Amino acid sequence: MIDFEFEPQVIERLKLYHTIAEQMMRPISREYDEREHEKPWQFFETMWSAAGAAAEFQPGGREKKEGAGVGARARNLYTIATTEELTWGDAGLFLSIPNAGLGGAAIAAAGTPEQKQRFLGPFRGGKPKWGAMAITEPGCGSDSAAITTTAVRDGDEWVINGTKIFCTSGQMAAEKSEGFIVVWATLDKSAGRAGIKSFVVPHGTPGMTVVRVENKLGIRASDTAMIVFDNCRVPFDHILGSPEINRERGFKDVMATFDATRPIVAAMAIGVGRAALDFVRDFLNQQKIAIRYGAGLYRLTAAERDFIEMEVQLKAARLLTWRAAWMLDAGRQNSLEASMAKAKAGLAVTQITQKAIELLGPLGYSRRMLLEKWMRDAKINDIFEGTQQINLLIVARRILGYSSRELS
């Protein structure tokens, strides 16, 4: 039976995160949207010292023993709920918070127990971890199987060469203490998908260079980097999982990363969608406009119908997302559900934020309010971690039982 119920201490912690979102993130949201390449260090310092927030909030982070700590029995579901609360505050600031991030989710999904402990273990000396994942390349976007970055074994090391673009939090992960980047590379191009593996590259590794930080439409408080790997050497045991190429299995082990990360991105979308929906609801209440939920469809105004439809779409996306996370915690295959959640949430938040601006008219379009910013922040959720089109294609393959060759 699906169970979304949290322990009392988890509920209290989520309330704490909502308070952080409301009182710490919202007040500086506009400032760091405009100052894209500056970092809110005071906010970071507060997060590091806030009751273990920096250590505990790690999407896909360190394994916890049964009963140990907040959300131990529902780690992924707790991560989803936490993500939703903090992105309600600000999606860009959320992505900039020091944590293991999507790189941590990759390690949790594809790493060995020893690797999870080594790379995702407690911070040393109170220093925060910065994690990122590098997949996309200049000639390879949605088709991850077309990766050209190579990893060649040289004795007890791997030598990585290639260029990665649009790496979220890549600058901080590559340059800051305790940072790391999980890089996707091919061991054997002739093996196709089966030859692709992921590697952990610690910060400051010679041969890993951040060559550009992007200027973006949304999530501007976070950095998005282009990183070049030029004869970048990492120890042999930094490959996640087995170095063996299994042509029958393909790169399912590497792709399992998305089963953990796509629900996180979907939760980000839900947080932004909630922010827009809550804002519109409060605005309508201030104008003494009530939503008549009990009225018949043809008795509702156009604004009422629009608002109710926005709520419906957000709730549908949320249930899909929570289910995908719950399945991961239960040890069940969730590839279909993760893609369904990602596709639905990305589309829903894009439509919700656009409709929110439409309902408020010129006020919504102006920079006096955060609605226009939320619309800009929303769109990325329909793009990264697999575009909506790619995720819908995956859903179709899973439901119909077709391979990527049969349905592309």
Q: At what angle do helices 101-110 and 252-286 cross, to 10 degrees?
A: 140
Kindly report the three-state secondary structure assignment for every residue of 207-256: CEEEEEECCCCCCCCCCEEEEEEEEEEEEHHHECCCCCCCCCCCCHHHHH
Q: Catalytic positions, please? A: 385
The residues pairing with 130 across neighbouring beta strands, listed in sequence order, are: 179
**What architecture does CATH give domain 8-120?**
Orthogonal Bundle (1.10)
- How does pLDDT run across 11-70, given as a tens digit for each residue? 998 999 999 999 999 999 999 999 999 999 989 888 876 645 434 444 343 334 444 444
Q: Are 264 and 60 in contact, with CB atoms under 8 Å apart?
A: yes
CATH of span 130-238: 2.40.110.10
What CA–CA distance (Å, rounded) separates 55 from 127?
9
Q: State whether residue 160 is helix, strand or coil.
A: strand
Q: What is the mean pLDDT of residues 194-199?
A: 91
Amino acid 250: pLDDT? 57
Amino acid 125: pLDDT? 52
Six-digit token string for 67:
């009963």
* H or E element at residue 122: none
* pLDDT beyond 80 at 130: yes
* pLDDT beyond 80 at 100: yes
Amino acid 143: pLDDT? 76
| Mean pLDDT across the chain | 88
What CA–CA distance (Å, rounded) separates 327 from 2?
8
Least confident range of 61-65, 154-158, 164-168, 253-257: 61-65
Close Cβ partners of 296 (under 8 Å, ≥ 6 residues apart) = none
Six-digit token string for 34:
């405009």
**Type of residue at 188:** D
Specify the pairing of strand 157-168 against strand 224-235: antiparallel
Which position has the token pair 């907040």?
A: 70
Give this prediction's pTM.
Answer: 0.90
Amino acid 249: pLDDT? 64
Q: Give domain limits for the chain.
A: 8-120, 130-238, 252-400
Q: 285-324 burial by CB neighbour count: b if 16+ within 10 A, else e?
A: eeeeeebeeeeeeeebeeebebbeebbebbeebbebbbbb
What CA–CA distance (Å, rounded) separates 389 from 239?
30
- How does pLDDT run across 229-284, given as a tens digit for each residue? 999 999 999 999 888 888 766 567 677 889 989 999 999 999 999 999 999 999 99
CATH of span 252-400: 1.20.140.10
Amino acid 1: pLDDT? 65
